[in-house]
C-alpha cells in the first residue's frame, strides 16, 4: 500500500510540473519516512549521494556529452546537411535522403532527438521547401529523423540503460549499430519509393559534380572517422567504453582546433555546457536511487515479478504490453527520465520472462523514440510545428508513412532479437 501511495505521489508531482529528479527524490523520501522514520531517511540520503554516482562507467556519459559539445560549438555539425545533400543529391528524393543521413549523424552527436529536430528545422526545412517538397512531408521528415539519434553510437541513453541494468556498456552501444543502420536504410527506401510514385510530395534529386563532392569531404570525413574510431575500438575490445569516450572527446577537441573552428573561449563554453548537462543527469540518477531504494525496501519489484510470473498468458503478450507502455511514455517524457523511472521496475520482469537485457535495452530506447512521433502527442512533431508555424495535425498527417515504417522496424526487431544481438555477440571480450 505504501508503494502505491509513493507512486501516486510521484505521478502527482510530475503532473504539477516538478522536475523529474526532485519528484523522485521527494516521493522516495516520503515513502522511506513512512516505512522506517527519520533515521532510515537520513541514513539513505547520506549514502545515496556517494553510491548513486560512484561508478567508473558513469564517466562515459560526461565524456560523450563533452565530445558532442566540442563538435556542436565548432560548427562542424551545422554543415552536415549541406555536405550530405551534395553526395546523395542525385538519388530520387535525394534531399530527403540527405535529411535522414544528416539527422542520424547529428542525432548521434547531440544524443537528443528533439535537438536534432530543432536543428534540422532551421537548416533542412528551408532547403526542402525551395526544392518543391510539400511542407507536410518536409516537416514529417525532420521530425522522424530525430528518432534515429538514440541508437547510433555514441548513445547516452544506451549508456545510461547499461549502467542501470548492470550490463556491458560496450555491448549495448554496439547492439544499437545494426538496428540504427537498418532504420536509416528503411527510411531511405521509403523516401526513394515516395519520390518515384509521389514526385509532387518528394521531388527528384539534383546531380552535383564530383568536384563539389570532393570539396565537402573535408567537412564530413574527419567526423565519420571519429565516430568510426570510437565504435571500432569498442567493438575490437581495445578500450573500455569510458576510455573510448575520453578519446572521442579529445579527438573532437583536436579536430575543432586544427580546423580553426574551436577557440580557447569556445572550449571553455563546451566544458561549462557539458558540466551542466552531466550534473543534471547525475541529480536525476540520485533522485532515482532514492526512489528505487524505497521500491526495493517495500519489495514492490519482487511482488510485480511474482505476479507476472503467475499470469497464464504468453510471455510475448506481456512483452507487447510493456513495449506499448514505453511507446506511450515516449510521447511526453524524456529518454533519461523514462529509463531511470522504469528500468529498475521492468527489467526484473523482463529477465524473469526469459528475454535478453541487451535486446530489451535497445527495444526500450527505440520504442520510446518512436513515441516521440506518435500521434497525437509526439514531442518531436510539436517541436517541428513550432519552428515551421504549421498546424500540428498537418505534420501528423504527413508523418504517418514514416511512423508506419519505424513501427515495422520495431516489430521486426522484436520478432527477430538475433538482429540486435548478433553484432555484440561477435565482440572481443
pLDDT in tens, 319-347: 888 888 888 887 777 777 788 778 888 88
pLDDT tens digits, one per residue of 303-319: 776 777 677 788 888 88
Peptide bond into 376 cis (omega under 30): yes
Q: Does position 99 have pLDDT exceeding 90, yes or no?
A: no
What cell numbers appear for 319 in the block? 512483452
Dump the DSSP string for 143-155.
Answer: HHHGGGTTTSSS-
State residue 134's pLDDT score.
78
Q: Does position 177 have pLDDT exceeding 80, yes or no?
A: yes
State residue 107's pLDDT score.
64
Of 107-111, 252-256, 344-348, the poorest mean pLDDT is in: 107-111
Q: Does position 213 have pLDDT exceeding 70, yes or no?
A: yes
**Rounded Cα gap, residues 357 and 352, in angstroms:** 10
Q: Does position 429 have pLDDT exceeding 60, yes or no?
A: no
What is the average pLDDT across 215-228? Answer: 74
State residue 356's pLDDT score.
92
State residue 397's pLDDT score.
81
State residue 360's pLDDT score.
93
Average pLDDT, the chain: 79
What cell numbers appear for 60 in the block? 562515459
Q: Answer whether 0.85 is exceeded by the pTM.
A: no
Q: Which of 374, 373, 323, 371 is nearest to 349 (CA)?
A: 323
Q: Which of 108, 188, 199, 96 is nearest to 155 (CA)?
A: 108
Extents of the domains making up the chain: 1-51, 52-425
Q: How confident is the model at residue 412 (pLDDT cuts 50, 70, 90)?
A: very high
Cα–chain center distance at 24:
22
What is the average pLDDT across 107-122? Answer: 66
Q: Does position 68 have pLDDT exceeding 70, yes or no?
A: yes
pLDDT tens digits, one per residue of 353-375: 889 999 999 999 888 888 878 87
Q: Does position 410 have pLDDT exceeding 70, yes or no?
A: yes
Q: How confident is the model at residue 111 (pLDDT cuts 50, 70, 90)?
A: low
Q: Does position 113 have pLDDT exceeding 70, yes or no?
A: no
State residue 77's pLDDT score.
61
pLDDT tens digits, one per residue of 133-143: 877 888 888 88
Amino acid at each position: 500500500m505504501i508503494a502505491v501511495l509513493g507512486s501516486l505521489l510521484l505521478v502527482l508531482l510530475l503532473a504539477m510540473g516538478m522536475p523529474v529528479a526532485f519528484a523522485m527524490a521527494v516521493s522516495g523520501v516520503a515513502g522511506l519516512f513512512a516505512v522506517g522514520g527519520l533515521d532510515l531517511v537520513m541514513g539513505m540520503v547520506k549514502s545515496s549521494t556517494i553510491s548513486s554516482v560512484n561508478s567508473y562507467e558513469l564517466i562515459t556519459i560526461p565524456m560523450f556529452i563533452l565530445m558532442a559539445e566540442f563538435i556542436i560549438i565548432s560548427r562542424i555539425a551545422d554543415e552536415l546537411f549541406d555536405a550530405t545533400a551534395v553526395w546523395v543529391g542525385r538519388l530520387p528524393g535525394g534531399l530527403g535522403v540527405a535529411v535522414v543521413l544528416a539527422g542520424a549523424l547529428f542525432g548521434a552527436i547531440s544524443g537528443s532527438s528533439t535537438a536534432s529536430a530543432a536543428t534540422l528545422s532551421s537548416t533542412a526545412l528551408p532547403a526542402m521547401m525551395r526544392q518543391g517538397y510539400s511542407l507536410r512531408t518536409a516537416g514529417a521528415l525532420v521530425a522522424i529523423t530525430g528518432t534515429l539519434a538514440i541508437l547510433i553510437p555514441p548513445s547516452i541513453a544506451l549508456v545510461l540503460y547499461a549502467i542501470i541494468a548492470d550490463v556491458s556498456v560496450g555491448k549495448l552501444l554496439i547492439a544499437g549499430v545494426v538496428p540504427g543502420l537498418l532504420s536509416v536504410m528503411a527510411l531511405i527506401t521509403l523516401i526513394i519509393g515516395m519520390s518515384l510514385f509521389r514526385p509532387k510530395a518528394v521531388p527528384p534529386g539534383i546531380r552535383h559534380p564530383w568536384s563539389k563532392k570532393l570539396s565537402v569531404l573535408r567537412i564530413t570525413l574527419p567526423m565519420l572517422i571519429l565516430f568510426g574510431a570510437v565504435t571500432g575500438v569498442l567493438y575490437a575490445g581495445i578500450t573500455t567504453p569510458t576510455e573510448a569516450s575520453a578519446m572521442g572527446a579529445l579527438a573532437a577537441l583536436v579536430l575543432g582546433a586544427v580546423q580553426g573552428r574551436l577557440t580557447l573561449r569556445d572550449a571553455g563554453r563546451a566544458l561549462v555546457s557539458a558540466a551542466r548537462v552531466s550534473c543534471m543527469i547525475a541529480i536525476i540518477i540520485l533522485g532515482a536511487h532514492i526512489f528505487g531504494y524505497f521500491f526495493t525496501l517495500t519489495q514492490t519489484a519482487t511482488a510485480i515479478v511474482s505476479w507476472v510470473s503467475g499470469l497464464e498468458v504468453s510471455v510475448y503478450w506481456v512483452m507487447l504490453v510493456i513495449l506499448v507502455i514505453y511507446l506511450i511514455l515516449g510521447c511526453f517524457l524524456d529518454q533519461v527520465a523514462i529509463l531511470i523511472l522504469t528500468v529498475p521496475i521492468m527489467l526484473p520482469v523482463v529477465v524473469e520472462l526469459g528475454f535478453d537485457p541487451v535486446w530489451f535495452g535497445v527495444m526500450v530506447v527505440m520504442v520510446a523514440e518512436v513515441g516521440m512521433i506518435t500521434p497525437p502527442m509526439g514531442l518531436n512533431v510539436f517541436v517541428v510545428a513550432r519552428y515551421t508555424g504549421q498546424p500540428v495535425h498537418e505534420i501528423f498527417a504527413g508523418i504517418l508513412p514514416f511512423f508506419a515504417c519505424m513501427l515495422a522496424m520495431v516489430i521486426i526487431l522484436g520478432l527477430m532479437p538475433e538482429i540486435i544481438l548478433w553484432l555484440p555477440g561477435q565482440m572481443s571480450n
